[in-house]
Structure 1
Amino acid sequence: MSSPSHPLRQLLAYARAQRGQVRLAVLYSTLNKFFDILPEVLIGTAVDVVVRGEQSFLAKNILVGVGISDTWHQLLFLGALNVVIWGGESLFQYLYEVQWRGLAQDIQHRLRLDAYAHVQKLELAFFENQRTGALMSVLNDDINQLERFVNSGANQIIQVVCSSVMVSAVFFALQPGLALIALLPVPLILFGAFWFQGRLAPRYREVREAAGDVSARLNMNLLGLPTIKAYTTEDFEAEHIRQASDAYRQANARAIRISSAITPVIRMAILAGFTATLIYGGWLTLQGKLAVGAYSVLVFLTQRLLWPLTGLAEVADMYQRSMAATQRALGLLATPINIAYEGRHLGGRSRGELRFEQLGFSYGEQPTLHDISLTIKAGETAAFVGSTGSGKSTLVKLLLRFYEPQQGRILLDDEPIAGLNLQDLRRQLGYVAQDSFLTDGTIADNIAYGTPGASDAQIHAAARQAECLEFIEKLPLGFATRVGERGQKLSGGQRQRLALARAILKNPAVLILDEATSAVDNETEAAIQRSLAVVSQGRTTLVIAHRLSTVRQAHCIHLLENGRIVESGTHEQLLVRRGAYAALWRLQTGEA
């Protein structure tokens, strides 16, 4: 508990902005518990009034100043006081529940947004070692676990502490000797609770990891459902889900075996304290050393003091689950961002001139680019071709700063992009990938994605330039048609045309097509080529392609092999050289 890296300390540091809410919640919980223990004192006082009449403790010590000594009037006073006590308890219960639940929602909401915003800023290398389902488990289930603890567990801990302090004070005021006996089990109970808690912590970390594995497996299978169906591997994948779910079940079972033992152990300690009060307190009363009313108060308060400690089992269980979840969520938030977002802001639209200087990059131990140096003038179309793994797409990812180069640099209009504000840089770039992401929105939503505030006329113009209008107008609701998750209601070619329209609407200084036509039919490829011929005018354009027919009209074509540029020139120049490009052209066109 004392370690600075303990998840509770991390959580308290994170929730520093909600300190005012926390203080109010603690105050309401404390006042609620104060009113909660008063009925037991009231019962003892009423017994004392009935037994002793005008000689009661109430008449001789509290009401003497107002002249009330009649037994009936004392009982009426206690009745009025009872209404005030129950009213106060109800009021502060309402207030603490509203405060704690509101605080739980605020922390949950803020942590989820902060964690998601942080994840968006992490470089792509981070996601290569992560599973989407596991990240989903952290952002959703783990943060929900934290909410459940703040919602009820924190209040339970505070009320147990307050109850112990307040009841102990009453005990020592009435009978110090009996208090020591009655409170003797409390240190043992607390020690036992912390002992169990220490053994629950690693088991609940296993539970959270296993939950992430289940989520990751489900996410992967749902995304790959068409392939699973096509290869009739339903039983095979169902067995994978069974194994992941069974691992989660067994991890929970190991934790449950320990958490379930807490309550019976605590119950036995409570039994000892309650029995001591019942017998020893009764003996003191029979000897005339303890008033009957005081004895009644102590018997009731012993249960009031010790019985809530059985709730420590539930609280300890909830606490360890939430701390394991908090550690994962705050651990994600603490992941360092290796590509800085801050930098010099661009004043407006750049010219689009690009320069790559001695660029080198490796994915781990595998070299991908070696000493790439080239210049692309503003307004020119440059194409990159070559076999799979030659480094074509890596160039684009470095330009978009999805990764940082290990050697060399990239300049936009003679300024190193590493020194530019990252979002300003990316606003200058329009990107169409091989498998473009579409949101579960309408056609219009997807075209305007990244261009907030675009008018209907601008959206229609971009769709016309990307040759989308023909298929959009055939849809039932036209531009208002929803495309489904990841655009699954559209064909691959339709998705690519929408992605191109989205890039056109953005009006970037540099347009990037990364294998944008590799998975489409000939008609769609021709449509994209016609669109490209129009939108590339006066705009720097980078085209990465396997099909050489896509790049014939480029100002310069660069052929990459093993991360190096081996040939550069126009289509005609490269054919005349009869080198690797010419050989690739003959292969694709079917020439001998």
Structure 2
Amino acid sequence: MPLFLTMSKQSHPLIRLLSYLTPFRGKVVLASLFSVLNKLFDLAPPALIGAAVDIVVQGKNSLIGRLGFPEPGDQLLVLGGVTALIWILESFFEYLFQVYWRNLAQLTQDRLRKDTYRHVQNLELAYFEDRSTGGLISILGDDVNQLERFLDHGANDLIQVAVTVLVIGSLFMVSAPEIGWMALLPMPFIIAGSVWFQKKLTPGYASVREQAASVNGQLVNNLGGIATIKSFGTEEYENRRIAGLSEHYRKANEGVIKLSSAFVPLIRMLILSGFIGILIFAGLKTLRGDMEVGLYSLLIFVTQRLLWPLTRLGQTFDLFQRAMASTRRIMNLLDTREHLPRGDKPLDKYSITGAYNLKDVHFQYRSGPPVLRGLSLTIPPGKTTGIVGATGAGKSSLIKLLTRFYDVTAGSITLDGIDIREYRNEDLVHAAGLVSQDVFLFHGSVADNIAYGSFQATADQIIQVAKHAEAHEFIRSLPQGYETLVGERGQKLSGGQRQRISIARALLKNPPVLILDEATSSVDNETEAAIQRSLLHISQGRTTIVIAHRLSTIRHADQILVLDAGTLAERGTHQELIQAGGIYAGLWKVQSGLAVQ
């Protein structure tokens, strides 16, 4: 298990981020080294200015003169050469640190996004029950990007400020210890103020990230339901809702902005005290002849180089706090351990008979009452089983248990005599082909959507399953045939067309078990007839489970199970259940027009 996942959730997000960057340790070291070298050469110009003043004032007695260059003209040429070399090296290391830090930011962003997306996909379906898709998108998108922005600029700024304080502080204490403390005096207050601001900003930025997730969540919902919004004429209502969430986000940022913006002005006041102290007291020493003019010039310049960059700490800490708030959200997501227990028994789909047996099955979702109560039933292999019942009877929940999207609360479900929890999840997925009531098609061509999950399928195989699903003829009539783009979620196609593409997609897996969940509930009579014809063909030789609202869809099933309030109420063929005069017979009379509605 990665180190960052073994650390306590209470660890500071920076520590967790550094542990996450362990695979890039070499790049982090080089990027940091280039930042240090760039800053060292960047701090040299004040010394060069001091040397130039020293040459003009001292002449042959200047520092460079004492190094073997007695003529002031030669000294200036030497100084010019050294200046050129320093500027070239400063520019070179600036190029290197920018390349390394920015590439490191991209590597981190890439790894984080892939890791978090992979992790989210592996979470059990129950995890998504009470969570906003937009909130997850906010973490996968905005939070990851926020971290990238910090690594792009903020990490280098923190390193270079630390180098500046260390180098110039050492210079003061070596060259003029009696007054150097004046420049260093503001430092403890600046550091203490930075820590105080950091603590104050942490909850504020956590709130900002949460508000951003709320806005993203509602936007995703609204864009996904734009047809519903337009059909009800609720555009203004949704405008107000988004405006309200956006206002909460603005106000959360407003509070943080007020606090973070006060940081720089306060630091400037502290900096001013140190700068004035050096300006006056070092100037008096120079006037008395106790300090050389060149050294005085150097100290004035480096005081600015020491203190003024600290004004950027406000902006840097702002980036840092935003990044840490995002890091905490990302790591908390990666810490989530909501997985169904993994089985280890292999399952060869070509050897499956498709015999299901449910024994005293109980099930309920995380919130809400029990859905299934002591359900026991058998689904024979190679036969067609229809499942009917009123809304809320537990039909779709039963399918989710058979496909192991969820685990039973109590009881057991076996496939070919073995509890499905013992099978490897990846094998169990290939054992059953599911056609859901809510068909989801990806933005792409018809062929791409049929071949989804069977990516190596040939064009001939795609056409063959389309024919079995009664989809080939309407696909041929589309503008580009099988290469026609279906639009996001398949919005360019009718509900019946999407259903038939979904059936073809399931058939291409060639599963031993085929499950259709309300596949004809929202289609017209012609489409229903087409789906019924395809069912008669594709159900041959495989276990077929059909949840149906329209009883005509399953009237030829080998057995029909009638669920009522999570229990098995009736069982038999169509004719047997009609003759029994129970729930099924009542539903049939209503749908066939034999009863007054």
2:188 aligns to what?
187
- CA distances 1:152-210 after superposition (whole Å, capped 9, x unpaired): 10110000001110111211221111211111001111111121121111111111111
Counterpart code for 1:221: N
1:126 aligns to what?
127
Change (3 A) 1:332 1:450: same
**Residues 91-170 of structure 1: pairs in structure 2 closer than 5 A:** 91-170=92-171
Distance 2:9 2:455 in 1: 47
Change (3 A) 1:24 1:4: farther
1:494 aligns to what?
497
Distance 1:115 1:57 in 2: 59
- Is 252-261 or 11-20 further displaced after alignment? 11-20
Q: Secondary structure at the match of 2:502?
A: helix
Q: Is 1:313 matched up with 2:319?
A: no
Distance 1:262 1:157 in 2: 16
**Residues 122-521 of structure 1: pairs in structure 2 closer than 5 A:** 122-341=123-342, 343-349=344-350, 350-363=352-365, 364-521=367-524
Counterpart code for 2:354: G
The normalised TM-score by structure 1 is: 0.97
Given that 2:101 and 2:156 are in contact with CA atoms closer than 8 Å, whether structure 1 keeps it comes out as yes
Q: Secondary structure at the match of 1:366?
A: coil
Change (3 A) 1:103 1:434: same
Given that 1:266 and 1:309 are in contact with CA atoms closer than 8 Å, whether structure 2 keeps it comes out as yes
Deviation at 1:48, TM superposition (A): 1.1
The normalised TM-score by structure 2 is: 0.96
- CA distances 1:395-427 after superposition (whole Å, capped 9, x unpaired): 111122211111112222222211222121111
Percent identical pairs in the alignment equals 51
Select which of 58, 61, 67 maps to 1:52.
58
Given that 2:133 and 2:220 are in contact with CA atoms closer than 8 Å, whether structure 1 keeps it comes out as yes
**Residues 561-580 of structure 1: pairs in structure 2 closer than 5 A:** 561-580=564-583
Counterpart code for 1:495: R
Deviation at 1:351, TM superposition (A): 2.5
Distance 1:5 1:420 in 2: 37
Given that 1:341 and 1:423 are in contact with CA atoms closer than 8 Å, whether structure 2 keeps it comes out as no
Q: Secondary structure at the match of 2:48?
A: helix
Distance 1:416 1:106 in 2: 43
Distance 2:492 2:12 in 1: 48
Distance 1:3 1:362 in 2: 30
Deviation at 1:103, TM superposition (A): 0.6
Given that 1:431 and 1:514 are in contact with CA atoms closer than 8 Å, whether structure 2 keeps it comes out as yes
Deviation at 1:365, TM superposition (A): 4.4
- CA distances 1:495-532 after superposition (whole Å, capped 9, x unpaired): 00100010011111110101111111111111111111
| Consecutive unaligned residues in structure 2, runs of 5 or more | 1-7
- Is 284-293 or 153-162 further displaced after alignment? 284-293
The Cα RMSD (Å) is 1.4
1:522 aligns to what?
525
2:19 aligns to what?
13
Given that 2:28 and 2:104 are in contact with CA atoms closer than 8 Å, whether structure 1 keeps it comes out as yes
Counterpart code for 2:127: F
Distance 1:481 1:320 in 2: 47
- CA distances 1:91-150 after superposition (whole Å, capped 9, x unpaired): 110000010011111111111111111111112221111111121111111111111011
Change (3 A) 1:522 1:505: same
- Is 248-257 or 115-124 further displaced after alignment? 115-124
Distance 1:341 1:329 in 2: 25
Q: Secondary structure at the match of 1:160?
A: helix
Deviation at 1:71, TM superposition (A): 2.0
Deviation at 1:342, TM superposition (A): 5.6
Q: Is 1:43 matched up with 2:49?
A: yes
Distance 1:211 1:420 in 2: 41
Deviation at 1:451, TM superposition (A): 0.4
2:4 aligns to what?
none
**Residues 58-69 of structure 1: pairs in structure 2 closer than 5 A:** 58-60=64-66, 63=67, 67-69=68-70
Deviation at 1:213, TM superposition (A): 1.1
1:585 aligns to what?
588
Given that 2:361 and 2:410 are in contact with CA atoms closer than 8 Å, whether structure 1 keeps it comes out as yes
- Is 187-196 or 95-104 further displaced after alignment? 187-196
Distance 1:492 1:3 in 2: 46
- Is 166-175 or 435-444 further displaced after alignment? 166-175
Given that 2:139 and 2:326 are in contact with CA atoms closer than 8 Å, whether structure 1 keeps it comes out as yes
Deviation at 1:573, TM superposition (A): 1.5
Deviation at 1:341, TM superposition (A): 4.6
2:37 aligns to what?
31
- CA distances 1:452-502 after superposition (whole Å, capped 9, x unpaired): 111000000011111111111111110010000000000011000100010
2:79 aligns to what?
78
Distance 2:236 2:48 in 1: 66
Counterpart code for 1:582: A
Distance 1:119 1:352 in 2: 30
Deviation at 1:58, TM superposition (A): 2.8
What is the number of equivalent residue pairs in this alignment? 586
Deviation at 1:316, TM superposition (A): 1.0
Given that 1:511 and 1:541 are in contact with CA atoms closer than 8 Å, whether structure 2 keeps it comes out as yes
Distance 2:263 2:518 in 1: 60
Q: Secondary structure at the match of 1:567?
A: strand
Deviation at 1:389, TM superposition (A): 0.6
Q: Secondary structure at the match of 1:158?
A: helix
| Consecutive unaligned residues in structure 1, runs of 5 or more | none
Deviation at 1:69, TM superposition (A): 2.6
Deviation at 1:340, TM superposition (A): 3.5
Q: Which runs of 4+ in 1 moved over 4 A?
A: none
Q: Secondary structure at the match of 1:439?
A: coil
Distance 1:441 1:342 in 2: 34
Distance 1:426 1:587 in 2: 37
